[in-house]
Amino acid sequence: MTTLINPADGSAVDVVPDTPVERVAETVQTAREAFEQWREATPGERARVLLRLADLVEGDAEELTRLEVEETGKPASVFRDGELPFAVDNLRFFAGAARSLEGTGAGVLSSGYTSVLVRRPVGVVGSISPWNFPFIMAVWKAGPALAAGNAVVVKPAPATPRTTLRLAELFASAGAPDGLLQVVTGGADVGQALVTDPGVDMVSVTGSSATGRAVMRGAVDGLKRVHLELGGKAPALVFDDAELEGMAAGVVMGATYNTGQDCTAATRVYIDRSRYGDAVEALREAVSRVRPGDPWAAGSDIGPLISAAHRDRVHGFVTRSSGRVVCGGKPVDGPGFYYTPTLIADADQDSEIVQSEVFGPVLVAIPFDGEDEAVRLANATPYGLASSVWSADVSRALRVSHRLDVGVTWVNDHLPIASEAPHGGVKGSGFGKDMSQEAVQEYSVTRHLMIKHAAPRPRDSFRPA
């Protein structure tokens, strides 16, 4: 049993049974039976089920909001008016993508043979998700895999399982075979049971880089496909021609959205030395305006951190940090696991606060001299997920973007995403893309059918002049 805690006040909100490890194999077996039926569904049939699911999710907005807000403490309006409609849009996109999943290239590739390239599902996908965006992550895991014709077993994070369980409940009435989307609950032991189960063909995980490694190790014996969306430490590069007020608003939104518990969060802001003082002051003002508060109150910008332990962890990073705390830097008094939005200036590039994923509302500012140094510092962490470049010079913004070792670069903004655009990283941030047609492709394999239609020409019968 896992007792779920509301991070906004520390109260117990629910108790969810953990799936016994020995039951995982049974769940996978049921998924395989469902897969045998679903693999025969036409793209149009798959699309209809996903469209129905999108409607059901939309109609369940109030309940999903209650569950997500109770478990994460994020502001209700952020989820109900932002993340939930986005998840619905994701599902509708995946429905469309199911109908345009094509093998590329076909024809007479060898004399006398017609080649046809066909995309087929992988089989049963085991998906493991984190606690920071529980519902959206469940949709990003299940949506593309189902669209490509797979069965899915999802294991949500132990602290936040209920919106994933609710998604599977809604899916059960969307018209797919029973058992096509199932949920197992619990921690790393249940996750490993899923990863190592011989009936699971592919493993997809969103979580920390350490978890990515553990999952990859677990998948080795079965030589399974792995899809890894891991941590991040996104830099924001502010050049001397950037408009500072807009930059500060955008970078601080990027740093504090979801209380900084976001793999793409802006965490390191590198500023041209000639504007450093003014930019730090603009950032201080913007950070000081961010209001942590009750998730159900209209004026709250951000909620608490996920747990008391995580708040202690974030505070540990801040107290040990190199650099000067410009504002914030302490837990908020009172109930719940709130932390004051924090700006630290002049940190050392090689120090922990710059190199490690803090996963809290903490932004670190560092000056740079020239484009080359900005790029070098931005690339100098183990991660490579997201980044932003702030400049009025389009050529410079593009030039710098091309030199960053990351999955995404925003220019003069930080965070926006779209269902059509692939989301994923490089280096320690893993590989594999969520969202977009690419995600659907990754949950499928290409097969080659080669059909003899005539006697092949004799070898060497055709010699270009």
Active-site annotation holder among 68, 83, 229, 357: 229
Out of 35, 131, 135, 338, point to the residue binding ligand NAD (CB under 6 A): 131
Q: Torsion over CA of 213, 215, 218 and 224, rounded to 10 degrees? A: -110
Query: For tokens 């995982």, what's the residue?
Result: 24
Mark the segment that binds ligand NAD (CB under 6 A) among 76-84, 95-103, 202-210, 348-356: 202-210
Sole binder of ligand NAD in the list 126, 149, 231, 292 (CB under 6 A): 231
Asked if 195 interacts with ligand NAD (CB under 6 A), we say yes
Cα–Cα dist 1/272, whole Å: 52
Nearer to ligand NAD, 157 or 279 (CB): 157
Q: Shortest gap between Cβ of 209 and ligand NAD (angstroms)?
A: 7
Tell me whether residue 26 is one of the annotated catalytic residues: no
Site for ligand NAD in 374-393 (CB under 6 A): 385
| Piece of 116-124, 150-158, 273-281, 286-294 that binds ligand NAD (CB under 6 A) | 150-158
Copy the structure tokens of residue 206: 């969103």
Range in contact with ligand NAD (rule: CB under 6 A) among 14-22, 48-56, 97-105, 206-214? 206-214
Q: How far apart are CA 27 and CA 17, in angstroms?
A: 15
Which residue, 69 or 128, is less far from ligand NAD as judged by CB? Answer: 128
Q: Among all residues, whose Cβ is closest to ligand NAD?
A: 191
Q: Identify the residue among 25, 61, 165, 214 touching ligand NAD (CB under 6 A).
A: 214
Is residue 435 close enough to count as binding ligand NAD by CB under 6 A? Answer: no
How is residue 441 written in tokens? 């492709």
**With contact defined as beta carbons under 8 Å apart, do 368 and 270 qualify?**
yes
Contact at 8 Å (CB) between 101 and 148? Answer: yes
For ligand NAD, the closer of residues 163 and 391 by Cβ is: 163
Which listed range, 51-59, 142-150, 211-219, 372-380, lies at the site for ligand NAD (CB under 6 A)? 211-219
Cα–Cα distance, 275 to 238 (Å, whole number): 9
d(CA 207, CA 189): 15
- Residue from 119, 155, 224, 311 in contact with ligand NAD (CB under 6 A): 155
Per the CB < 8 A criterion, the answer to whether 232 and 385 are in contact is yes
Judged by beta carbon, residue 226 or residue 271, the one nearer ligand NAD is 226
Does 132 participate in binding ligand NAD (rule CB under 6 A)?
A: yes
Q: Which stretch binds ligand NAD (CB under 6 A): 191-199, 333-341, 348-356, 435-443?
A: 191-199
Residues that bind ligand NAD (CB under 6 A): 128-132, 155-158, 187-188, 191-192, 195, 205-208, 211, 214-215, 229-232, 263, 357, 359, 385, 423, 425, 429, 434
- The residues annotated with a catalytic role in the active site are 229
